[in-house]
Amino acid sequence: MYDVVVIGAGPGGMTAALYTARSNLKTLLLERGIPGGQLNNTAEIENYTGFSSIMGPILATDMYEQVMKFGIEYDFGAVKEVVDRQSYKEVHAGNKIYRTRTVIIATGAEHRKLDVPGEAELNGRGVSYCAVCDGAFFKDEPIVVIGGGDSAVEEGNYLTQFANKVTIIHRRDELRAKKILQERAFQNEKINFVWDTVVERIEGKQSVEAVIVRNVKTGEVTRIATAGVFIYVGLLPNSEPFLNLGITDAEGWIITDETMATKIPGIFAIGDVRQTVLRQIATAVGDGAIAGDYAFKYIETLN
Ligand code: FAD
Ligand code: NAP
């Protein structure tokens, strides 16, 4: 029987595990991929206090090494279901069932697909969702980026170190991204914007050759030649395994109170998977600290 099973080893989950381990709670951190979560898909981070600039995968490794010093158990496993047995919970992953007094869900969110012809067919052959993973394949080639949020604009900026030209295609005439990221992109001579435009399909034989786009105001359809298409059109919650618990809103984001408790006693949720106003490393880490502390307080009430 564990005191705490943390599901997901992104910045939120790793921080929660750090806090519960330092409270001497028997802690298991379960992860279906590699530790770090979205940090592994992020190039440069400039808004996490204490680091003027750090690459996402480096911050991920640093966090992992720090948390592992506190004697937590770490296991590979994709959680399929959590069952509430009231005084304890069962966490089902693969063919294993872990019993625990509390669960902290830190499964984050995943990139949304564009859902256009060519996207799935050319995934990995020019279509990408990760600039830090794939950007270097496009040295001196043209790239298009789809989206108008922080991810599209920040990663678009990052891609200019490889590409000879980055075209950001956005469905409106105004960006959603933070002003500081917008200004940097507007000043970057390698970036140009195509406004009020949606992608109809992605074309290519062996690999991406072009995107066919439509201006939503004029209806004009044009072809933009490109070697790469980086898609950043938002996030979907990784909450499928928890839908049976009835703790999500209509879109699947997990509802918590300010102590990160869901409506089921002993089950907490943190970070990007939570219904929240800001999805950032700093907020995921803050949520993790709060959940770690309140998991400890909850366990004390059981004794
Ligand atoms: P995640 O980092 O998403 O981690 C969740 C983990 O849970 C993953 O490792 C996943 O594999 C695991 N998991 C999911 N489901 C299961 C399951 N069923 N079983 C087991 N494990 C599971 N924020 C900033 O503050 N600054 C930035 O510069 C910045 N840049 C970004 C750039 C991009 C391209 C993106 C996409 C995001 C960026 N963000 C940035 C946002 C930031 O990365 C996230 O807010 C943060 O990583 C959320 O942390 P998390 O721990 O909640 O979730
Ligand atoms: P986001 O903020 O939800 O933005 C998604 C963008 O994609 C929006 O501009 C949206 O257009 C567009 N879009 C959505 N569906 C589309 C579709 N079907 N076709 C075309 N365009 C579509 O998502 P995000 O940029 O990935 O950011 C996710 C979270 O991570 C945010 O909380 C963000 O703050 C955080 N993040 C932070 C940083 C940072 O702090 N530096 C960097 C990256 C990400 P509309 O604008 O018209 O809705």
Q: What is the mean pLDDT of residues 103-111?
A: 97
User: Which one, of 119, 127, 120, lies nearest residue 143 by Cα?
Assistant: 127
Q: Does domain 2-110+235-302 have CATH number 3.40.50.720?
A: no
Tell me which of 12-21, 41-50, 107-116, 145-154 is least confident: 41-50
Give the model's pLDDT for residue 133. 82
Handedness of CA 129, 135, 137, 142 (dihedral sign): positive
Ligand 2 site, CB within 6 A = 47, 114, 146-152, 154, 171-172, 176, 198, 232-235, 279-280
| Confidence band of 44 (pLDDT split at 50, 70, 90) | confident
Instruction: Say if ligand 1 is within 6 A of residue 238 CB.
Output: yes
| Distances in whole angstroms, Cα of residue 172 to Cα of each of 185, 196, 217 | 16, 4, 10
The pTM score is: 0.89
| Confidence band of 189 (pLDDT split at 50, 70, 90) | very high
User: Which tokens belong to 55?
Assistant: 């690459």
Helix (H) or strand (E) holding 270: none
- Check: CB of residue 200 under 8 Å from CB of residue 221: yes
- Going from N- to C-terminal start, the domains of the chain cover 2-110+235-302, 113-231
Q: What percent of the chain has pLDDT over 90?
A: 95
Cα 149 to middle of ligand 2, angstroms: 4
Active site (annotated) includes residue 84 = no
Of 115 and 43, the structure prediction assigns the larger pLDDT to 115
Residue whose CA lies nearest to ligand 1 atom number 12: 8
Task: Indicate whether 43 pLDDT > 90.
Answer: no
The 3-state DSSP class for residue 26 equals coil
User: Which one, of 129, 116, 123, lies nearest residue 200 by Cα?
Assistant: 116
Active site (annotated) includes residue 133 = yes
d(CA 237, CA 300): 31
**pLDDT digit string (tens) for 157-186?**
999 999 999 999 999 999 999 999 999 999
Task: Indicate whether 42 pLDDT > 90.
Answer: no
Give the model's pLDDT for residue 265. 97
User: Which one, of 211, 239, 214, lies nearest residue 227 by Cα?
Assistant: 211
User: Which one, of 159, 164, 161, 137, lies nearest residue 147 by Cα?
Assistant: 159
Each residue of 7-19: b (16+ CB within 10 Å) or e? bbbbbbbbbbbbb
Query: Is it true that 2-110+235-302 and 113-231 share their CATH fold?
Result: yes
Q: What is the mean pLDDT of residues 73-94?
A: 96
Gyration radius (Cα) of the chain, Å: 21
SS (H, E, C) 202-262: EECCCCCCEEEEEECCCCCEEEEECCEEEECCCEEECCHHHHHHCCECCCCCECCCCCCEC
User: Which one, of 137, 133, 149, 146, lies nearest residue 56 by Cα?
Assistant: 133
Task: Indicate whether 41 pLDDT > 90.
Answer: no
Cα 109 to middle of ligand 1, angstroms: 6
- Check: CB of residue 288 under 8 Å from CB of residue 14: yes
**pLDDT digit string (tens) for 211-247?**
999 999 999 999 999 999 999 999 999 999 999 999 9
Q: Considering every ligand atom, which ligand is closest to the CA of 236?
A: 2
Give the model's pLDDT for residue 185. 97
DSSP state, 264? S
Within 8 A by CB and 6+ apart from 230, the residues are: 128, 129, 130, 131, 134, 143, 144, 145, 146, 152, 155, 156, 159
Task: Indicate whether 303 pLDDT > 80.
Answer: no
Mean pLDDT over each residue of the chain, to the nearest integer: 96
Active site (annotated) includes residue 130 = yes
For the domain spanning 113-231, the CATH number is: 3.50.50.60
